[in-house]
Amino acid sequence: MMRRALVTGAAGGLAAGVASVLARDGFDSVVITFRKTPPDATLAAIRSSGASAAAAYVDFDDGEREIAAALDAVAEEHGPFDTLVHAVGPIVVKRFARLGIDDYQKMFDGNVRSAVLASRALLPAMRAARFGRIVFFGSLGAAETRPYRGFSLYQAAKSALIAFARCLAIEEASNGVTVNVVVPGDIREKHVDRQTARARTAANPAGRAGSFEDVADAVRFFVAAERDFVTGAILEVTGGLTQADARNESPS
């Protein structure tokens, strides 16, 4: 079976590494979306791993019609896709007293609306093929609505995303489509591989930094063709971390 994946927001960050790992894992085509970061490095990594690669500009801050049109164009030109890894999801760490309505819009449009629109664009082809894999990126504690200072709107948006993913999972299960969530931990250096990360200490129970390969392993598990009985699941890749803190809190 020819495998085609769309990985959103994969010009940089953890998603860039995930895209290249999918190519190494046997996907025939990996397409990424980008906005500000040039996609060239990710495209080169995908191609060097043996898959065809393409990049499409999609600004998930745009209006709904613009985003839907851009995603439909990607699906028409490069699809049909059997796999969606939706990694787009901005974060604002700021106490509620300093948050504004623009922050609310950014959190819910970037984390929830973007996932809804990406799913809407790719699901018809998955249903027609009776096969599909969707993976969203969650956040620590969002599934249990665990509270952390400075995370009120981000945590609320990610909790909504997880609720959406779980509902979608049970609705699409009979169509051969699985929907799961990967929760990356506090991974500061998003480009390092596992070997490098193991040599660096980090404030989590495992005691070492995380890597894009750790996150990619969770994605690989969920998107495997034989993984048809695992859906609506949440897999934390955190080194055992259970608490988020506001060390990156914006001062404004």
Residue 180 φ then ψ, to 5°: -135, 170
Contacts (Cβ under 8 Å, ≥6 apart) of 100: none
Determine if the peptide bond prior to 80 is cis (ω within 30°): yes
Phi-psi region of 130 (alpha: psi -120 to 50; beta: other; left: phi over 0): left
Q: Residues of the chain whose pLDDT is less than 50?
A: none
Question: What pLDDT is attached to residue 4?
Answer: 98
Q: Is domain 4-187+213-237 given the CATH code 3.40.50.720 in the classification?
A: yes
Residues in the chain: 252
Provide the residue ranges of all domains of the chain, joining segments of one domain with +.
4-187+213-237
Question: What pLDDT is attached to residue 211?
Answer: 84
Of 50, 123, 51, the closest CA to residue 86 belongs to 123
Question: What pLDDT is attached to residue 195?
Answer: 83
Cα gap 61→183, rounded to integer Å: 23
Question: What pLDDT is attached to residue 210?
Answer: 79
Cα gap 239→20, rounded to integer Å: 22
SS (H, E, C) the chain: CCCEEEEECCCCHHHHHHHHHHHHCCCCEEEEEECCCCCHHHHHHHHHCCCEEEEEECCCCCCHHHHHHHHHHHHHHHCCCCEEEECCCCCCCCCHHHCCHHHHHHHHHHHHHHHHHHHHHHHHHHHHHCCEEEEEECCCCHHHCCCCCCCHHHHHHHHHHHHHHHHHHHHHHHHCEEEEEEEECCCCCCCCCHHHHHCCECCCCCCECCCHHHHHHHHHHHHCCCCCCCCCCEEEECCCCCCCCCCCCCCC
Cβ pair 176, 219 in contact under 8 A: no
